[in-house]
Structure 1
Amino acid sequence: MVVEAHQLFLPKPPFSSPSFPSPPPHFSSFLFHPSSLSLALFHSDSSISLYSSFSPFSISSFPPPQTTLPPPISAAAFLLLRNPNPITLFLISSPISGGSAVLFRFYILNSARKSFTPAKVVCNHSDFKFDESKLGVVFGVSHGVSVKLVADVNVFALYSISNGKVWVFAVKHLGGEELKLMKYAVIDCSLPVFSISVSFGVLILGEDNGVRVFPLRPLVKGRVKKERGANKKSLNGGLEKDKMEIKKLPLRNGMIHGINAEISFADGSKLMELKFPSNGVLDERVENRTESAKLRSVRLRQDSREGIANFVAFKNKDDNFESIKIPVKSAKAIGIQALSSTRFLILDSEGNLHLLFLATSVHGSETPYSMKQLTHNMKVRKLTVLPDSSTRAQTVWISDALHTVHMIAVTDMDASVNQTDCKDPAEKLVQTSVVQAIFSSEKVQEIAALSANTILLLGQGSMFAYAIS
């Protein structure tokens, strides 16, 4: 086994004042987007340097960033759009108006220019307003002390600690550098949330003694509200066109045969059918009694019993809401990483790793799920993995946030068995083994997987890249 190591010296903060000596470069964290090879460096003053087509093994020091984002920035995430061509976005949030509102700013990766450019955002929701002067969308809720942003494909989520809410949004590319922002769901959090993840069609909240899993599809589709007394004009004009569309079906000789319209999403999935009285010709009197439908954003409680959410405990297999008892000093789920669409790694506050199993298809309360703790010889503080559903053995990188990084292999020995046929997937044999150990000369602040066998490590004054072959 060969280990290739490469050191990169970090750049100076881009917004340091020339009137004062520049302080030693300090970076609190970074984000790496494997599909676009984009890197975001978070500076200590909350500014961000963006790089595209980042190749750590071909440079010895950082060049000037293609894009710099000034402070204050409270959270950020990479967002991938697929409709149909893949487009990489970088999303940031900032407090504005003294923290009374949240500012979203979107940047589109221009592959030809190798830089991120600000995007214009169209939004027709009452809570959104695009501000030309700030090149962003003002979200009319209090920013509070802290927020978290997570994103996946076409969807992102915002968690506000002060508001105790999670908002789920969707983004659509309209062409060029124009986007459309839509709000779909609000989750009222009555319990503390320590981490949040959006990946493979599920939203996961890290809580005391476990995680809570929400399937995204029912959240994004919204709820249908029927309204009476609408005429034909209101039926066509009253629907939210960004969420649904009306398709007319042909009528024979002016007669109605039970159904003459259907509502469907842009992806082709049908939501519902509008049924009309089959009493002959549709006249003005029947039109005025027609029922219309509107899509409303889903709003629910974190501990809702509506069958949407499932709580998975670290040490309690019973999923009944009344039976979940949280110990006084329970471990908190502080990190969530997807291994595949059916397996997620959960890091708790005591440094332990847990493997969360989901079924191949998620259907609310019918979802089989379970949790199994993994064995390892390190108190884990940092965790990174590159999701891959095509292999039975996956590489996971863990660190104690001191000077050690372990490359471990997580092997599902019974992957050939269909999980939907297994009463308790956690009973399957899961093996972990340390493949390689890396000792860093600098204290580890952050790690990110560039590929299955390559890792990027942020130290206190340098960045290191390691490739194992």
Structure 2
Amino acid sequence: MVVVQSSKVPLPHPSSLSPPPHPHTTSILFEPSSLSLALTHSDSSISLYNSFSPHSHSLPHPQTLIPSPSSSSTFLLLQQPSSSSSSAAAAVLFIVSSPHRSRILLRLYRLRRDPPSFARVTGVLCCHKDLRFEPSLGVLLDAKHGAAVRLAGSVNYFALYALSSNRVWVFAVKDDDGGDEDDGGGVRLMRCAVIECARPVFSMSVALGFLILGEENGVRVFGLRRLVKGRGGKRKQLRNRGGGLEVVNCNGDLEGKMERHGVAVKQTNVKFKHDDRDGGSCFVALKGNEVKTKSTTKVSMSIKAISIQAVSQRMFLILDSRGDLHLLCLSNSGIGVDITSNVKQLHRIMKVQSLAVLPDLSTMSQTIWISDGCHSVHMFTAMDIENALNEANDCNDKLMHIPVNRVLFSSEKIQDIISLAANSILILGQGSLYAYAIS
């Protein structure tokens, strides 16, 4: 017998000082190891909650309210090398990007243990000329903010994309020995790599040793370890200029070139012989929509990869702008230069607007949730994807057919969804949060 438990959590106004009409909540972020919740509001302010409980009758006013403007945000787990591999031993950071004059401002908040709450990081040590920490503001990156900035965080690393600069920065974060963890301070911020993009980036994922950029008609996959460390441990700058991807040392010396043939990226070094220990990347195309014209010719409609979620150690789900899902399968751990991959499209059961997957990849029983952006959420599992992938490969089918295990219906129109646990989901409606647990 399947039991579905549900609870409704009304949302408070983010600030009693804001004049009417009060801003409403537009999106949610959840960090499962600390049960931290971030609510982004229509005025771009952010409410931070620690130890969120879906069984609460209502949310109180947040202890930490990040004032507007904010353009993007992400959680990051700060794992010490001497700590255990479990995410429970990691410190939790929350990173927010904002425009500040002609630069990008990064504000960092850390989850304190006693009392449990998020506090501003009071000291950030920056090791590069284009980074500067201002105690009253945060970290200033010498780059134009422009119309769009995206953040994606993982364990000890996060990526930042600025559309106006057409660049992706990869940063590493670690504890500064002089910082007081419970005083909210003491981290070191290091720029590891810069990617100059020839095409706009619509989504990013930093997970499981990969950096994946969602582009038009496909995704670009980088091995994160080699991207960060480079050849011989040198930091790298990568320039994606249509004809190829140039790998350049931070001092400007040309180190290598990766030329693109079709949808794959193959490395050919300029100064060094081919070495499998060097970093690499590949571009994987998504099948676009074809439209017949009056002359009976077919014109391919471009699609954009707008969401990327890790499903297992080697599989990622990609949501495109047309509302279709694609399964990206990677054949290695991202350490070698040749990142071989393939992608299969899932059979459409509806036009998907939102995709949510639990970040915990320790079990194949994890749940995938998809929403139509109206009033329904469909549920299936990673094991269902594995079985469907095997059947599609055996039958040489172009589409994967995934059975839907459960369907949830919401009385309010769905704005966003996030996975809370293996079989729990949090739904953002028009004025409330709805938590569902299936057992």
User: Match of 2:352, as an amino acid?
Assistant: V
Contact 1:66–1:114 (8 Å) recurs in 2: no
TM-score (norm 1): 0.76
Q: Verify: 1:123 aligned to 2:126, yes or no.
A: yes
TM-score (norm 2): 0.81
Contact 1:11–1:25 (8 Å) recurs in 2: no
Q: Verify: 1:215 aligned to 2:187, yes or no.
A: no
Offset of 1:408 from its aligned partner? 1.7
User: Match of 1:150, as an amino acid?
Assistant: A
Residue number in structure 1 paired with 2:264: none
Offset of 1:426 from its aligned partner? 8.6
SS at structure 2 position matched to 1:366 = coil
Residue number in structure 1 paired with 2:6: 5
Contact 2:307–2:355 (8 Å) recurs in 1: yes
Residue number in structure 2 paired with 1:242: none
Residue number in structure 2 paired with 1:311: 283
SS at structure 1 position matched to 2:402 = strand
CA distance in 2, matches of 1:434, 1:30: 25
Residues 9-65 of structure 1, C-alpha deviations (whole Å, 9 max, x = no match): 111122643xx4x324511111111111100011111111100011111x1111121
Q: How has the CA–CA distance of structure 1 residues 436 and 386 changed in structure 2, closer, same or farther, with 3 Å as cutoff?
A: same
Residue number in structure 1 paired with 2:153: 151
The equivalent position to 2:322 in structure 1, one of 346, 350, 353, is 350
Residue number in structure 2 paired with 1:108: 110
CA distance in 2, matches of 1:441, 1:223: 55
Residue number in structure 2 paired with 1:229: none
CA distance in 1, matches of 2:148, 2:395: 36
CA distance in 2, matches of 1:143, 1:460: 30
Residue number in structure 2 paired with 1:32: 30
User: Match of 1:27, as an amino acid?
Assistant: T
User: Match of 1:347, as an amino acid?
Assistant: L
CA distance in 2, matches of 1:401, 1:217: 36
Residue number in structure 1 paired with 2:135: 132
CA distance in 1, matches of 2:37, 2:62: 10
Q: Verify: 1:301 aligned to 2:240, yes or no.
A: yes
Contact 1:412–1:428 (8 Å) recurs in 2: no
The equivalent position to 1:362 in structure 2, one of 328, 334, 348, is 334
Q: Verify: 1:72 aligned to 2:69, yes or no.
A: yes
Offset of 1:210 from its aligned partner? 1.4
Q: How has the CA–CA distance of structure 1 residues 35 and 424 changed in structure 2, closer, same or farther, with 3 Å as cutoff?
A: farther
Q: Which moved more, 1:305-314 or 1:340-349?
A: 305-314
Aligned length: 379
CA distance in 1, matches of 2:379, 2:401: 14
The equivalent position to 1:202 in structure 2, one of 191, 210, 219, is 210
SS at structure 1 position matched to 2:405 = strand
User: Match of 2:48, as an amino acid?
Assistant: L
Offset of 1:390 from its aligned partner? 4.0
User: Equivalent residues in 2 for 1:326-345 (5 A)?
Assistant: 328-345=300-317
Offset of 1:150 from its aligned partner? 0.5
Q: How has the CA–CA distance of structure 1 residues 424 and 172 changed in structure 2, closer, same or farther, with 3 Å as cutoff?
A: farther
Residue number in structure 2 paired with 1:437: 407
SS at structure 1 position matched to 2:176 = strand
Offset of 1:452 from its aligned partner? 1.6
Contact 2:209–2:333 (8 Å) recurs in 1: no
Q: How has the CA–CA distance of structure 1 residues 15 and 93 changed in structure 2, closer, same or farther, with 3 Å as cutoff?
A: farther
For structure 1, the 5+ residue unaligned runs are 225-270, 272-294, 317-325, 418-422
User: Equivalent residues in 2 for 1:161-310 (5 A)?
Assistant: 161-175=163-177, 176=180, 177-222=185-230, 271=233, 295-301=234-240, 303-304=244-245, 306=258, 307=267, 308-310=280-282
Offset of 1:367 from its aligned partner? 2.2
CA distance in 2, matches of 1:363, 1:76: 28
Residue number in structure 2 paired with 1:397: 369
Q: Flag the structure with larger Rg.
A: 1
Offset of 1:2 from its aligned partner? 1.1
User: Equivalent residues in 2 for 1:11-90 (5 A)?
Assistant: 11-14=12-15, 16-17=17-18, 20=19, 22-57=20-55, 59-84=56-81, 85=83, 86-90=90-94
For structure 2, the 5+ residue unaligned runs are 84-89, 246-256, 259-266, 268-279, 289-297
Residues 197-229 of structure 1, C-alpha deviations (whole Å, 9 max, x = no match): 1111111111122111011112211456xxxxx
SS at structure 1 position matched to 2:146 = coil
CA distance in 2, matches of 1:103, 1:382: 28
Contact 1:171–1:180 (8 Å) recurs in 2: yes
User: Match of 1:149, as an amino acid?
Assistant: L
Residues 404-458 of structure 1, C-alpha deviations (whole Å, 9 max, x = no match): 11112342556999xxxxx999979965211111111111010000012100011
Q: How has the CA–CA distance of structure 1 residues 54 and 381 changed in structure 2, closer, same or farther, with 3 Å as cutoff?
A: same
| Identical columns (%) | 51
Residue number in structure 2 paired with 1:237: none
Offset of 1:365 from its aligned partner? 4.5
Contact 2:37–2:50 (8 Å) recurs in 1: yes
The equivalent position to 1:453 in structure 2, one of 409, 416, 423, is 423
Residues 121-144 of structure 1, C-alpha deviations (whole Å, 9 max, x = no match): 00121011111222x111111111
Residues 107-127 of structure 1, C-alpha deviations (whole Å, 9 max, x = no match): 110122111111110012101
Contact 1:392–1:415 (8 Å) recurs in 2: no
